Structure 1
Amino acid sequence: MVATPKPVSSVEFWYEFASTYSYLSAMRIEAAAAEAGVAITWRPFLLGPIFAGQGWSTSPFNLYPAKGRYMWRDMERSAAAMGLPFRRPDPFPQNTLLAARLALIGAQEGWVAPFSRAVYTAEFGEGRDVSKAETLVPLLDGLGLAGQQLVARARADEAIKNRLKIVTEDAQRHGIFGAPSFVTADGELFWGNDRLDDALAWAAGTHGGAAARR
Structure 2
Amino acid sequence: MPNRPVLDFWYEFASPYSFLSALRAEALADEAGVTLRWRPFLLGPIFAGQGWTTSPFNLFPNKGRYMWRDLERQTTRNGIRLMRPNPFPQNSLVAARVALAGREAGWTPAFSRALFTAAFSEGRNIAEEAVLVAALRQAGADPGQALPAARSEEVKGRLKAETELAKSLGIFGAPTFVTGDGELFWGDDRLEEALGWAADGR
TM-score by length of 1: 0.91
Q: Would the aligned equivalents of 2:102 and 2:146 in 1 still touch at CA under 8 Å?
A: no
CA offsets per residue over residues 22-51 of structure 1, 9 Å max, x none? 000000001111111111100000000000
Instruction: Tell me which residue corresponds to 2:15.
Output: 19
CA offsets per residue over residues 116-171 of structure 1, 9 Å max, x none? 0000000001110001111111221233322144223322x000000000000010
Task: Provide the rounded CA distance (Å) in 2 between the counterparts of 1:50 and 1:28.
Answer: 26
Q: CA RMSD in A?
A: 1.3
Task: Provide the rounded CA distance (Å) in 2 between the counterparts of 1:171 and 1:146.
Answer: 29
1:160 aligns with 2:155: yes
Q: 3-state SS of the aligned residue for 2:154?
A: helix
After TM superposition, the structure 1 = structure 2 runs for residues 21-170 of structure 1, keeping only pairs within 5 Å, are 21-155=17-151, 157-170=152-165
Instruction: Tell me which residue corresponds to 1:208.
Output: none
Q: For structure 1, list consecutive stretches of 5 or more residues without a partner in the other structure.
A: 206-210
In terms of Rg, which structure is larger? 1
1:191 aligns with 2:186: yes
CA offsets per residue over residues 56-84 of structure 1, 9 Å max, x none? 00000000001000100100110111111
Q: 1:116 to 1:6 in 2, by over 3 A?
A: closer
Q: 3-state SS of the aligned residue for 1:42?
A: strand
Q: 3-state SS of the aligned residue for 1:14?
A: strand
Instruction: Tell me which residue corresponds to 1:180.
Output: 175
Residue 6 of structure 1, CA deviation: 7.9
Q: 3-state SS of the aligned residue for 2:35?
A: strand
Task: Provide the rounded CA distance (Å) in 2 between the counterparts of 1:164 and 1:6.
Answer: 27
Given candidates 1, 4, 13, the residue that maps to 1:8 is: 4
How many residues align? The count is: 202
Q: 3-state SS of the aligned residue for 1:12?
A: strand
Task: Provide the rounded CA distance (Å) in 1 between the counterparts of 2:115 and 2:135.
Answer: 7
CA offsets per residue over residues 64-112 of structure 1, 9 Å max, x none? 0010001001001101111111100000001001110000011121101
Q: 1:173 to 1:89 in 2, by over 3 A?
A: same
Q: Point out the more displaced range, 105-114 or 62-71.
A: 105-114
Task: Provide the rounded CA distance (Å) in 1 between the counterparts of 2:146 and 2:198.
Answer: 34
